[in-house]
Amino acid sequence: MEQDFLPISREDMQKRGIAQLDFVYVCGDAYVDHPSFGHAIITRLLEAHGYRVGIIAQPDWRDDASVTVLGEPRLGFLVSAGNMDSMVNHYSVSKKRRKTDAFSPGGEMGKRPDYATIVYCNLIRHTYKHTPIIIGGIEASLRRLAHYDYWSDKVKRSILMDSGADLISYGMGERSVLEIADALQAGIAVKDITYVAGTVFRTQDVALMEDALMLPSYEDICQSKEEYARSFYIQYQNTDAFSARKLCEAYPHGVFVVQNPPQKPLTTQEMDDVYALPYMRTYHPSYEAAGGIPAISEVKFSLISNRGCFGGCNFCALTFHQGRIVQTRSHESILSEAKQMIQDPDFKGYIHDVGGPTANFRHPSCEKQLQKGVCMNRQCLFPQPCKNLTVDHTDYLTLLQELRALPGVKKVFVRSGIRFDYLMADADDSFLRELCQYHISGQLKVAPEHIADEVLTHMGKPPVAVYNRFKEKYRRINEQLGKKQYLVPYLMSSHPGSTLKEAVALAEYLRDLGYMPEQVQDFYPTPSTISTCMYYTGFDPATMQPVYVAHNPHEKAMQRALIQYRDPKNYELVYEALKKTHREDLIGFDAHCLIRPRKLASEKDTSRKKQKHQSGSRSHSAATSAKRKTLRQVHKKKSK
């Protein structure tokens, strides 16, 4: 059969000769058959293993019939909110509704509900009372146990409880979904599929928890923030496939939510097989009239080379979702995909990215990880690189060289994050030199996030001295290459641990740098990160020491304004922050000052108003004079 999209209607099923599908995948994103989209990977993988799969993308959650368009699947429904948590997709950090959705036709907002996974599952249950429902994707994965929900400002139950689903496939679900599918195919009842790694199930059978590590109960963590922090850190310590224990969380009425240990990382061959599946590599043609799916533009000519991250940033959920062990595709696999891209009529010669969560990670951080897993109580890069860390950019550099040598390729960009502390641990400058020479265009985006070491510690980031050394090396290499290229630092305001004092220090750093960022990211407390745990509880879960947290919106606005202190609209907020921190020395005319005195600012404002008034008066006088002149002319004509 000719390569085609998976069925989205009964007509598509009839064309393929399918009377009943094995699985129906319900998704909050539009249907894009590209390996950067989770629903594409899972459905193509099931298809490759002989299962018949259809997709219902963005069903109308106000209409029960919207989930019946493909009929009842023989084995079960698979449900995902999409590539993003639906609440992050819908709302900014200030909880204001976003205007566009890159994962919907034409970028239209409002094509999926809030808490989409829960809503879709309840929608399915209205019609199909007993059909198995398996949930996955980032939303289900990061809400698999009780969690703090920023948007409702409360601790929510496991998404398994509120959705009514039978199983969660968490993390990167290729292996677990296939095991679940094979079990259902073999006639095993979904309630008895309690043994698959990378899954979460609900039970009242105490025998299934004999070897489990008991977490504080849901009621306990709702009543005590200390218990919440303790529970979260136990979960964090059990995210590694080699060392993790089974976890159990108790709910009222004798119900338990049980999390099995994660699936083992994919081998290189398994990664290659996933990316070799027959994707159409674009959105479904039914979206063409609406203008297509904006999200495809970011990934259509990009290459994923790895997954997993041992960077360990506290504000990132990758540890909970992809894990800390880096998994890579082979050069042959990536080059093969690149050659496919080159044949696309829209390809202009530019590969937009070659990377993943962190572009310059192309192997596990040390040799023992693929046999014993990652360390439970230690990080690979923080607070400084581990003595066992393998630092080597050779493989990644060779890959980039091979890609840019392909006929039809003009330039290969690296736009995924570069971990600069890992780069600085490499005694060989070859990668950084070639990165500057061939793989950026004018600027390199990096993420120091802050410059106050107190804040960086709570972020899980290296001291600012490391960034300063990297900045100098970057400048020196570009100078040697005869290139004028710049660093664009990503910065974050109001992260736990940041007071107004640290925010002022960041403003001073930017002053000395001569740089003011166009955009600033407020810390966003998304589910299942260490930083979100700090934000909610006020404790560092690793040490149980108190952490300062800026909750007040006005203080958060001041911290954000300090990063953009030159912007006139931020003057009052910056002035107030400097007064509160007793840093009036930064208000004045000296070169080190951030803003001018208020009186001068007021005088300038008055001067602008006066000029505007005078301009208005002149305009009014001119208009009056013209009117009088016209009347005189009319009167003169009448006299004649």
Whole-structure pTM value: 0.91
Q: Is residue 149 part of a domain?
A: yes
Same domain, 191 and 84: yes
Q: How many domains does the chain have?
A: 3
Report yes or no on 126 lying in a domain. yes
CATH code of residue 33: 3.40.50.280
Q: Is residue 304 part of a domain?
A: no
Q: Tell me whether residue 100 is in a domain.
A: yes
pLDDT in tens, 310-324: 998 999 998 899 999
Same domain as 48, residue 179:
yes
Under the banding of pLDDT at 50, 70 and 90, the label for residue 469 is very high
Q: In whole angstroms, what separates CA 160 from the centre of its chain?
A: 22
Q: Do 502 and 583 lie in a common domain?
A: yes
CA separation for the pair 229, 250 (Å, rounded) = 16
The Cα–Cα gap between 148 and 225 comes to 10
Same domain, 27 and 150: yes
607 φ/ψ angles, rounded to the nearest 5 degrees: -60, -40
pLDDT grade for 638, boundaries at 50, 70 and 90? very low
Alpha carbon 235 to its chain centroid, in Å, reads 20
Task: State how far the alpha carbon of 213 is from the alpha carbons of 249, 261, 541, in Å.
Answer: 9, 11, 18
**Chosen domain end from 201, 219, 252:** 201
Residue 95 inside a domain? The answer is yes
Q: By the 8 A CB rule, do 436 and 478 touch?
A: yes
Residues 102 and 158 in one domain: yes
Q: How far apart are CA 252 and CA 246, in angstroms?
A: 20
State mean pLDDT over 408-437: 96
Q: Are residues 46 and 171 in the same domain?
A: yes
Which pLDDT tens digit goes with each residue over 34-47?
A: 999 999 999 999 99
Residue 327, in any domain of the structure = no
| 493 plus 628 within the same structural domain | no
The yes-or-no verdict on residue 83 having pLDDT over 60 is: yes
* pLDDT classification of 277: cutoffs 50, 70, 90: very high
Q: Is residue 121 part of a domain?
A: yes
Domain containing 622 equals: 600-640
Residues 490, 605: one domain? no
CA–centroid distance for 99 within its chain: 18
Assess whether 58 and 180 both reside in one domain: yes
Q: Please check whether residues 22 and 168 belong to one and the same domain.
A: yes
Q: Are residues 477 and 626 in the same domain?
A: no
The answer to whether residue 164 sits within a structural domain is yes
Segment 212-216 mean pLDDT? 97
Share of the chain above pLDDT 70, in %: 93
Residue 293 neighbours by CB under 8 Å, 6+ apart: 30, 32, 102, 103, 104, 105, 283, 287
pLDDT tens-place string over residues 549-597: 999 999 999 999 999 999 999 999 999 999 999 999 999 999 999 999 9
Q: What angle do CA 98, 103, 106 make, to 5 degrees?
A: 85
Calculate Rg over the CA atoms of the chain. Answer: 28
Last residue of a domain, one of 172, 201, 230: 201
Which pair of structure tokens corresponds to residue 95? 């909880």
Residue ending a domain, choose from 152, 182, 201 = 201
For residue 561, which of 517, 512, 515, 513 has the smallest C-alpha distance? Answer: 517
Q: Please check whether residues 145 and 45 belong to one and the same domain.
A: yes
